[in-house]
Amino acid sequence: MTPQRRKRLFLVLGIVAGVGIAATLALLAFRQNVTLYFIPSDIAAGKVHDDRAFRLGGMVEKGSVQRTPGSLEVRFAVTDFKHQVPVTYTGVLPDLFREGQGVVVHGRLAGGVFSADEVLAKHDEKYMPPKIAGTAPPAAMQGGG
C-alpha cells in the first residue's frame, strides 16, 4: 500500500466513522425528541399513553371560547367533529385563532384537560389541520371567511 493510498484510506475511514456517529446521534435525538401529533379522536381511542407533551390539532369548537374577565387564562374546546377535548391556555392567542377555524396546540393532557403551552396559527384561513380535512362536514370546509 503506498503512503498516498494509506492516507486516503484513513481519510475515508474517518469520514465513514464520523458520518456513522452523526447518524446514530441524530437517530437517538429523533427517538427522544420527536413530538407526536394527535387529533381528538386519537385521544378518545386511548392512543395517548404517557404524560409526554404532544401536539393536538383540530378545529376550535364554535361557542366554546371562555375567559375569566381580566385574566390571561382562556378555555376552549378542540374538535374533529367526532370528539372534542377541552383546552386551557394562559397567554396571548395568535392572530388566526378564531372559533370554527383550524388550530394546532402544543402541551400535555392532564385529567382529560389539555393544558397548552403554545398555540399556533396558520397563514391561511382555509387551512385545515391534517387528518381533520377528511372528517369535516362540508359547511366547515368552506372556512369561516
Partner 1 sequence: MLPELGHFALVLALLLSGLQAFFGIAGAAFGRSRWVAATSSAVAGQIIMVATAVGLLVYAFVTYDFSVLYVAQNSNSALPLLYRVAALWGAHEGSLLLWIFLLALWTLAVALGTRSLPQRFKARVLGVLGLLSFGFLLFTLATSDPFRRLMPAAPDGRDLNPLLQDPGLAVHPPVLYTGYVGLAVAFAFACGAMLEGRMDQDWARWTRPWTTAAWAFLTCGITLGSWWSYYTLGWGGYWEWDPVENASFMPWLVATALIHSLAVTEKRGLFKSWTLLLAIIGFSLSLMGTFLVRSGVLVSVHSFAADPTRGRFILAFLGLVIGGALTLYAWRAPLLKSNAGFELTARESFLLFNNILLVVACATVLGGTLAPLIADTLGQTALSVGPPYFRPTFLLAMIPLLALLAVGVHAGWKRGNLDHRTRGILLTLVVALVLGGAVVLGAFGGRHWLAVTGMTLGGWIILSSLLDPIDRLRRSLSLPRAVLGMAVAHIGVGVIVLALTGVESYTTERDIALGANETARVGGYDFTLAGTQPVEGPNYSATRATVLVSRDGALITTLYPELRRFWVQQQERKVAGIYNRRGTDLFIALGDDLGAGRWSMRAQIRPMITWLWLGPILMALGGLLALTDRRYHLARREATAPAAAAGERA
Binding site for partner 1 (CB under 8 A): 4, 7-8, 11, 15, 18-19, 22, 25-26, 29-30, 32-38, 42, 47, 54-55, 57, 67, 69-72, 90-98, 104, 119-127, 129-131, 145
Nearer to partner 1, 15 or 110 (CB): 15
- Output the smallest distance, CB 61 to partner 1, in A: 18
Nearer to partner 1, 82 or 125 (CB): 125
Question: ∠ at Cα 133 (85, 108), nearest 5°?
Answer: 30
Task: Mention every residue, 6+ apart, whose C-beta is less than 8 A from residue 119.
Answer: 89, 91, 93, 94, 97, 103, 104, 105, 106
- Output the smallest distance, CB 48 to partner 1, in A: 10
Q: Tell me the three cell numbers of residue 13.
A: 475511514
- Output the smallest distance, CB 113 to partner 1, in A: 19
Nearer to partner 1, 55 or 83 (CB): 55
- Output the smallest distance, CB 5 to partner 1, in A: 10
Nearer to partner 1, 28 or 110 (CB): 28
**For 33, which DSSP code?**
H
Nearer to partner 1, 4 or 137 (CB): 4
DSSP letter string, 96-136: T--TTSEEEEEEEEETTEEEEEEEE--S-TT---TTTTTTS
For residue 104, which amino acid is it?
V
**Cross-strand partners of 66:** 75
- Output the smallest distance, CB 19 to partner 1, in A: 6
